[in-house]
Structure 1
Amino acid sequence: MGGNYTQPRFILLGITDTPWMQAPLFGLFLLIYIVTLAGNIGLMLLVWAAPSLHTPMYFFLAHFSLADVCYSTVTSPKMLTDLLFGDKTISWAGCVAQFHLFALFVTAECHLLAAMAYDRHVAICHPLRYAQAVSPRACWHMVAWSYLVASLSALLYTGCTFGGSFCGRRHVDHFFCDASPVLRLACSDTRGCELAIFALATSNGLGTGGAILLSYARILHAVLGMRSVPSRARAFRTCAAHLASVSVFYGTLFFMYLQPASRHGSRDKVASVFYTVVSPMLNPFIYSLRNKEVKVADGAATASLGSLPTLTDKNFFPESHLNLLSA
């Protein structure tokens, strides 16, 4: 790729180089990774098995959990083996693959969050049009679009990051191959690549973030116009989990990628831990804790494990969405 013909092996410096912290951090991050896999895979299986959760909201949530599992798995196992064995080398191909897959699933998650915001906007602001606007076909189109845009963006991110020449330094000051620490090792001019990555991150991050903000501005306007206090409370409960997830994810993502390259430093590792390790673990709890639909479905899921969600049954458009503004 680019001017690199020697394909050097990189060395990931990791989260810390203090020996006595390696074992505690390994135990902590191993526990977080196990909880992440159990929570997100469990939530996907529950959505798959429970007919009451065959709705657009949980359809998007299942794909959101899949993206969480994938991009967490791209970074966490390598970080854990580095902490356990101390061998922090990674091949050129491994570094490229890790960054490409990470960029793909993180970008897909941005677009899935925007699709989820659109679902809530239609459910609250236009309940009578919900069945048409968020039909099974529309849901599949939005998910396919999310992965398509993410795939194209990841190719561009990867080309910009690894398209130059690497002729000297090999130490990546991070716990995974990310754009900024890798570009610091290039011996060719990277200003054009940095500008292209910034533009891509801006278009994906601010584009989807703006769509989410616009959706919630309209939701807020509709909720404040409701006459019934219980209806307002129900509408806010519908959006609370999604808003919490958006805040955690976008807060750290914007801090990482929407700042000049000169301002990147050691704080990037702390921010990266939040959106690569902590956020995927928290999302299943955010969406299922105190969620009555999930609790009820969890108790009844074993009775329907043999049924695949076709997204065409009558539960796909729950009556609670269509009657949200009736009070």
Structure 2
Amino acid sequence: MAATTSRTLELLSLLQSHRHWTARELVDRLDVSDRTLRRDVERLRELGYGIESLRGSAGGYRLEAGTGLPPLLLTDDEGVAIAVGLRSQATAGLRGAEHTTLSALAKIEQVLPAALRRRIEALQSHAAVGTGGVGSARSARPSPEIDSELLGLLALACRDSERLRFRYTDAAGEASARVVEPYRLVPVARRWYLLAFDRDRDDWRTFRLDRMSEPFQTRVNFAPRPMTDDEARERVEHALRWRERGVSARVVAAIPREDLVAHLGWYGRDVVEIDAGHCAWPLEADAVENLVMALMWMPRGVEYRVEGSPEVLAFLAEQASRFAAAAPAAAPAPAPSAGA
């Protein structure tokens, strides 16, 4: 009986997702006989669903037009997609959109399973959707694919103030483990970002969802700081604006990570280990001059190299020549005095 019910619901789901199905298509999709298909169609009709039978070479089945919409059968991914789409539409600036789309979402939520409804409610309350911002929503660049399960998990963690652990790969390809206190999900210019407080770095950080992996729910709660949707969006957009006009480089140094961190103090919070005797220090600044200034903080006697854009490396070579020219020629050592 359970298999029969499951198959009947699958048939209903197929009829809702497609305007017209031939009998052969349904038989193949459900892996049943023609007789079983006809019996399942009759069972749905007995339940009140208007299903029209079409004869001839193009014959098959379809839901009758003009009747009430039957209950929706949604997968978890479909439910999350609808929630995100309607939430975005509500704030898209279209006249009357906010009332109609949010009322539609409320009606859909009434017939969703409790677990899926919980994920969608979390998305509604902790996704700071808005218009404008850095870049354009009509940007020609392709949108990176986002796992809807990850989106739902992050929304729940934001709503429940639950710490998260995950792996993150930055723009330079460096992977690191992060422990964060998540606050808001913010879509900007066709990408999703998580605004969170990074506990190891003791500062706010913005993470692109398509660069996150291996999320782990710690079941540890934190006391959230006050944060509105507008404040979250402004933090994310400010971070993105800074990155767009900023420059970056990486210093690879022949020194153990713990020694360089001890030397740099708070400024060494992003240093990562390469091996027992080498580490990498990522640098970011709003101008190449300010980035190169940070090299003065490297410990004396430690060998290192700089990896960066041609602009950074060219500026560094230019400054090296200027420093060499500015230094006076070394005076010869004084001759030892007589009788010494």
- Structure number with the bigger relative contact order (C-alpha 8 A, sep ≥ 6) is 1
Q: Tell me which protein shows more helix as a share of its residues.
A: 1
TM-score above 0.5, yes or no: no
Structure whose alpha-carbon radius of gyration is higher: 2
TM-score (norm 2): 0.24
TM-score (norm 1): 0.25
